[in-house]
């Protein structure tokens, strides 16, 4: 079938690309919900993009001991208050303190722990 | 004549829309990303990806940011440690991996990786630091092992074949990437 009316070409392109404009998470956003929701809090959304602007990968993944696997770290608010995991920075000095609950616990209820925005690879988010 | 110009403009606008949709400017606002709860009143305090990422070196894939270029061009200076005091290692050797069947060989640049991490990130837990010491293949990478621990999850995705498979043998065609798709438009 030949598309004779050239006026339709841009329209066709736009229609084909509409799905690309649908809502999606930012590449490498991590949902942390192993315990949050079962303990009455919304899931945590961790944006890699925001943090990597400020810190190299190894600061968290070597120095702070975050395993490179969504769901692979047993993070609790107790540990955070003691300066472990997120609490190494989220202490009111380098970044906001843990009292600002809904800045981190900002996800929609029902989300499962994992890493978002990936392409074909199952990646480390699958466990 | 006027009709020709009109047609041309319409087609250009379609191609422009397609290119911008694929290339850049399509970061979702947090309230519209299917992750954040739009009714959370604190959402307005969080930065939207577009505000931070649109000013960095562009890229067709992942966060639509060429993170290595963003560091090299001085657009960002991610800290090497919490207080920024760690002196980064200087190790700029390249490793060429030739056992890639019909695809171009892989060039691994230590330099680009040192911009983002210390040696311990990979050595020795993920990669043995010896030539031919690691049995890497694409199936493992797609499963999130070796390079796939980061590439495909945080670093540029595995759709970007030609960024790693970039050492062309004689008469060999370049590997594909999402950038090539945009180029073909």
For chains A and B, count residue pairs whose Cβ atoms are closer than 8 Å.
185
Task: Work out the mean pLDDT of chain A and round it to a whole number.
Answer: 85
Neighbours of A17 (CB within 10 A): 17
Q: Is the pLDDT of residue B184 over 50?
A: no
Q: Shortest CA distance to A79 belongs to which of A90, A68, A63?
A: A90
Instruction: Determine whether the interchain pair A102/B40 forms a contact, defined as Cβ–Cβ distance below 8 Å.
Output: yes
> Phi first, then psi: what are they for B16, rounded to 5°?
-60, -45
Q: How far apart are CA B9 and CA B7, in angstroms?
A: 5
Instruction: Give the SS3 label for residue B68.
Output: helix
CA angle A17, A107, B66 (to 5 degrees): 50
> Given pLDDT bands bounded at 50, 70 and 90, which one contains residue B1?
low
> A1-33: per-residue pLDDT in tens?
555 666 676 666 665 655 455 567 899 999 999
Partners of B52 on chain A (C-beta within 8 Å) are: 49-50, 53
Partners of residue B159 in chain A, C-beta under 8 Å: 119-120
Contact B61 A63 (CB under 8 A): no
Residues of chain A with pLDDT under 50: 19, 119-127
CA A48 from centroid of its chain's CA atoms: 6
Interface test mutation site (partner A, options B154, B179, B181, max chain A beta carbons within 10 A)? B154
Q: What is the DSSP string of B78-117?
A: -BSSTTS-PPPP----EEEE---TTSPBEEEEHHHHHTT-
Instruction: Specify which residues A95 forms β-bridges with.
Output: A90
Instruction: Kindly list the residues from chain B whose CB atom is less than 8 angstroms away from the CB atom of residue A36.
Output: none
Task: Read off the pLDDT of each residue in B37-55 and give the average, rounded to a whole number.
Answer: 97
Burial level of A119, CB count in 10 A (0-12/13-18/19+)?
Answer: middle
CB contact under 8 A, B14 and A10: yes
Interface predicted TM-score (ipTM) over 0.90:
no
Could you say which of A23, A61, A103 has the minimum Cβ distance to residue B121?
A61
Phi, psi of B165 (to 5 degrees): -85, 75
Residues A49, B53: C-beta atoms closer than 8 Å: yes
pLDDT (average), residues B65-82: 97
Contact call for residues B42 and B54 (beta carbons, < 8 A)? no
Whether residue B25 is predicted with pLDDT greater than 60 in this model: the reply is no
What's the predicted TM-score (pTM) here? 0.82
Q: Would the CB atoms of B36 and A107 count as touching at under 8 Å?
A: yes
Which pLDDT score is estimated for A10? 67
Nearest to A99 by CA among B61, B42, B139: B42
Query: Is the CB of B21 less than 8 angstroms away from the CB of A52?
Result: no
- β-strand pairing of A30-32 with A114-115: antiparallel
């Amino acid at each position: 079938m030949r598309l004779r009316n050239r006026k339709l070409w841009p329209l066709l392109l736009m229609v084909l690309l509409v799905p690309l404009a649908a809502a999606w998470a930012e590449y490498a956003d991590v949902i942390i919900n192993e315990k949050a929701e079962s303990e009455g809090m919304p899931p945590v959304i961790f944006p890699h993009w925001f943090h990597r602007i400020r810190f190299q990968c190894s600061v968290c993944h070597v120095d702070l001991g975050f395993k490179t696997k969504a769901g692979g770290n047993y993070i609790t608010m107790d540990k955070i208050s003691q300066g472990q995991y997120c609490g190494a920075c989220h202490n009111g000095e380098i970044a906001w303190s843990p009292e600002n609950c809904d800045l981190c616990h900002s996800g929609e209820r029902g989300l499962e722990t994992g890493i978002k925005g990936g392409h074909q690879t199952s990646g480390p988010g699958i466990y | 004549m006027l009709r020709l110009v009109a047609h041309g403009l319409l087609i250009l606008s379609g191609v422009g829309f397609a290119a911008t949709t694929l290339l850049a400017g399509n970061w979702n606002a947090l309230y519209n990303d299917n992750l954040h709860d739009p009714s959370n009143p604190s959402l307005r305090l969080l930065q939207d990806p577009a505000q931070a990422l649109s000013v960095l070196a562009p890229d067709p894939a992942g966060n639509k940011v060429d993170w290595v270029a963003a560091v090299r061009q001085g657009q960002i200076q991610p800290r090497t440690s919490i207080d920024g005091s760690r002196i980064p290692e200087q190790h700029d050797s390249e490793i060429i991996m030739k056992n890639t069947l019909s695809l171009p060989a892989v060039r691994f640049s230590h330099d680009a990786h040192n911009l983002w991490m210390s040696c311990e990130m990979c050595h020795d837990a993920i990669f043995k630091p010896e030539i031919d010491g690691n049995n890497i293949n694409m199936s493992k990478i797609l499963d999130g092992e070796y390079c796939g621990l980061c590439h495909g999850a945080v670093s540029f995705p595995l759709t970007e074949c030609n960024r790693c498979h970039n050492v062309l043998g004689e008469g060999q065609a370049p590997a594909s990437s999402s950038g090539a798709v945009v180029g073909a438009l």
